[in-house]
Each structure stands twice: as structure tokens, then as C-alpha cells.
Amino acid sequence: MNDLATKLDQEPEQHLTKTRIKLSVIFLMSLAPFVLAYIVFFVKPEWIPTGTTNQGELLLPPIQASEVGIDHKALFEGDRWMLLIPAGSECHQGCVDALYYTRQVKTALGKEADRIERIVVSDATNISSKFQTLLQQEHKHARLVFNSGVAISALVEPLLGREPDGAYILLMDPNGNIMMFYTLDKAGKLMLKDVKHLLKASNIG
């Protein structure tokens, strides 16, 4: 009788222990993706595969908009993805080409075009009259901002591991993370492919 009573007392306790183990396993499994993501992006970014389908180069860690003096929340109502065209006081041929490519990408997005904007970021204190005319006549919807922070090239170079060769375009997400770098040879249909993919996958902007 005592043995039966002992067995009956142990069964609820054993059941409770098994339940706790199951719940602990489920909880740990739910945490695993977040732990892995943290390790990959913040501890071991070199683990990220380089053979991705991205046409641009990923900037890790992303450059913050505030580092180059951009108040991205004040530029537009609502969240936007932004294509940044670095420039100086003049818009040389590479700059002209970058403006053209970004305009073509925005146009090609069709009904999704309102989710992305074009920003000319000048490291100068002002731009030439020729540059102003170009923006007014051919790119009137591109927004001009003056960089009050660190020169963009100085921030991009250590992340790329090299000095940018010629003109380039940067992609910034709606949270102000400048996270993709495009040389002009990737700035047409290839950049459009990336942008379409990001807009489709993103629930912001």
C-alpha cells in the first residue's frame, strides 16, 4: 500500500518536471534565431556569406544618417527609402550619371515609386549655379541637403576596405541606416533589382 501511495505521489511530480523541460526547450528554440542574428551581425559579421544575390555592397555596420548631418525624418512625411547621391559644389559627369540612374530606378518602380526618394548630399557649403540649374531643370524632385557632419567618403572607405573609385550611390533604409553601396556599373537595372526586392520584403517605408 505504501509503495502504491509513493508511486502515485511521484507521478504528478514527474509529469510536472517533463512539462517544465518541454517548455524550457520551446523557449530556448524561440530565442535561437535572435541569438544567432545578434552573433552574426554584431560579434561575427565575417560569417555573413559574401556570395549573396545583392548587386550592391553591404555596409556593416551601417552608417547612421546623423553622421552625415541628414535628418531623414524631417525630409519627408512618412517613412521612405532613400537613394543618396554624394556630391560637392559641382556635379561632374559621375554625379550627372548617378542622378540619371536614380531617376530611372524610381520611375521604373511604378506604383512603388512613392516609397523611395532621391537625395543629393553635398559636402560643400553651397553648389554652383550650373549644378542648381541641372537639379531644377532635370531633377526637380531630387532633394538637396548639405552635409554638416563627416564627409561621406571618409565613412564609406573603411567599411569597403578601399577608397571609392569614382561616383557612387548609397541606399538608406527608413530608419536612417545607410546600408548599401553601388558603383555606377551596378546603378541601373542591377540596383533596381535590389530595390524591388527590398521594397517587397520590407514592411517599413
Q: What are the tens digits of pLDDT across the range 24-52?
A: 556 555 555 545 544 444 444 444 444 45
pLDDT-wise least confident of 19-23, 116-120, 129-133: 19-23
Q: Going along the chain, which residue ranges are E strands?
A: 57-64, 81-87, 116-122, 143-146, 168-172, 177-183
pTM: 0.73
Average pLDDT taken over every residue of the chain: 82
Closest CA to 186 of 174, 205, 173, 171: 171
Q: How far is CA 164 from the centre of its chain?
A: 19
**In this model, does residue 87 exceed pLDDT 90?**
yes
Give me the sign of the Cα torsion angle 134, 137, 138, 139: positive
Res. 186: pLDDT tops 90: yes
Give the pLDDT score at 54. Answer: 77
Residue ranges in 67-188 assigned as alpha helix (H): 72-75, 93-108, 129-138, 152-160
Q: What is the pLDDT of residues 136-155, one digit of tens each?
A: 999 999 999 998 888 899 99
Write down the pLDDT at residue 76.
77
Q: How far is CA 51 from CA 58, 103, 161, 173, in A?
A: 12, 28, 17, 22
Residues 47-79 have pLDDT tens digits of: 444 445 678 999 999 999 988 888 877 787 778
